[in-house]
Amino acid sequence: MKKIDIFLQNTLSGEKEKFVPLKDGEVSMYNCGPTVYNYAHIGNLRSYVFADILRRMFEYNKYEVRQIMNVTDIGHLSSDSDEGEDKMTKALKREKKPLTLEAMREVADYYFGKFKKDLKELNIKLPGHFPFASDHIKEDIELVEILTSKGFTYRTSDGIYFDTSKFTGYGKLGNLNQTADTESRIGANLEKKNPRDFAVWKFNSELGYEAPFGKGFPGWHIECSAMSRKYLGQPFDIHTGGVDHIPVHHNNEIAQSETAYNVPLAKYWLHNAFLNIGDNVKMAKSGENFITLKILRKRKIDPLVLRYLFLGARYSSSIQFSWGALDGAQASLAKLREKVKELGNGVSKLDSEVNSKPSVKEYKKKFLAMIDDNLDTAGTLALVWEIVKNDDISDVDRKKLVLNFDKVLGLKLNKKTTVKIPENVKLLVKERDTARSEKDFAKSDELRKKIEQLGFEVKDTSEGTTVNPLKT
């Protein structure tokens, strides 16, 4: 069957391109995964929701997806410029564990388990494999030796570095030139020949792995090059990650992989924008804006509310996070699920044409056109709302359409709500809504207090009034 055209924004070319797979009917995809030294925050998790939607879109289009997501448990320093403390070592000190490779893996396994739980709660399909960096030292060493044999590395007192001046295409991802982004690196290491040179191996005589060129750890960038090639071959179709990976991490991957093997690393490079909090500041573990799914759960917020919030914007657009925005997403998702529930449980084929406007088939074409156009998730959400409100289509077909589209959106729109609102609380909420509509705000506040005394809270959103158990 002829595939429908899919278009993706390729950071490598700077253009939206028609997707043409390297192998017909198959997509090979590498997602830059977590560094497992702490819990993932919700800004991190946007990358994985994006990768999941990308995978689901391809599967909806009948492609077989080979998906790999790495797990960094060694070698990632606190600075992308090969400076600062190793993040896993930092975790060992924080948790008062011995500075050993065994303890490092123990910490990694713990936080990886929490990460997988987060993925499942966000309804993210697990990749085919999660390769750990510490399990691929042999492949890292082999790659460093190839680069050295070709004359692209040099030795300093603290490691083996890649000479970026010898790779003429350095900085081509994101169209960075040779002089851009150098200020942050100048002076960091006076032994570097060029500010952009990066470590492929860092020496550590006490804690590390034995190698022909000295005991230590692989560079963070070399790990991804080695693991992606091992599991997907080179080139592979798609490489994803956050926009912060473009200037350093991903350009470094390209430089060392193409130098070593004389072929591109990946054909398409896709990057998601930040989740910002406060004054357009990206969420980070090092800041005070460290919000995890655990915090959401304590506030009795379904993690899929966060997924809904993410889908309200295209992956390449930044999102401004606020608790108000999350409350709005919670209200919208609850209302959407309620509308889907109201459509009943009948059975029919998803092809009735009756006299619906638009027809079922037209809605399916619209959905495909949107999701295949660089993952227009905001458009598809709007389309789902249009469908549930369209009385020209039978309830049965509306429900089947929406649940069919949810195979890509992953919002579990057929999920049954478990929170029951007592009838006396419902009556008070209805009375309060009437008071608000009559602008009797004193009575509205009095009714709110009565509702809270019964163990529930009300929130007024653009989608209407929501009622939830009080957070403890």
Q: What is the pLDDT of residue 463?
A: 63
Section 405-411 average pLDDT: 98
Write down the mean pLDDT value for the chain.
Answer: 89
Task: Identify the three-state secondary structure at position 179.
Answer: coil
CA distance linking residue 402 with residue 404, whole number of Å: 5
377, 53 contact by CB (below 8 A)? yes
- Per residue in 75-84, pLDDT tens? 887 766 677 7
11, 173 contact by CB (below 8 A)? yes
User: Running DSSP on this structure, what letter comes out for residue 134?
Assistant: G
Assigned CATH topology for domain 295-312+320-409: Four Helix Bundle (Hemerythrin (Met), subunit A) (1.20.120)
Question: What type of residue sits at position 455?
Answer: G
Q: What is the pLDDT of residue 472?
A: 46
User: Running DSSP on this structure, what letter comes out for residue 135?
Assistant: G
φ/ψ (deg, to 5) at 187: 85, -10
Q: Tell me if domain 22-272 and domain 295-312+320-409 are identical in fold.
A: no
How many other CB atoms are found less than 10 A from the CB of residue 118? 23
- Per residue in 79-116, pLDDT tens? 666 777 788 988 999 999 999 999 999 999 999 999 99
- Per residue in 372-383, pLDDT tens? 999 999 999 999
Domain ranges of the chain: 22-272, 295-312+320-409, 423-469
**pLDDT of 283 higher than 80:** no
Tell me the pTM.
0.85
CATH architecture of the domain 22-272 equals: 3-Layer(aba) Sandwich (3.40)
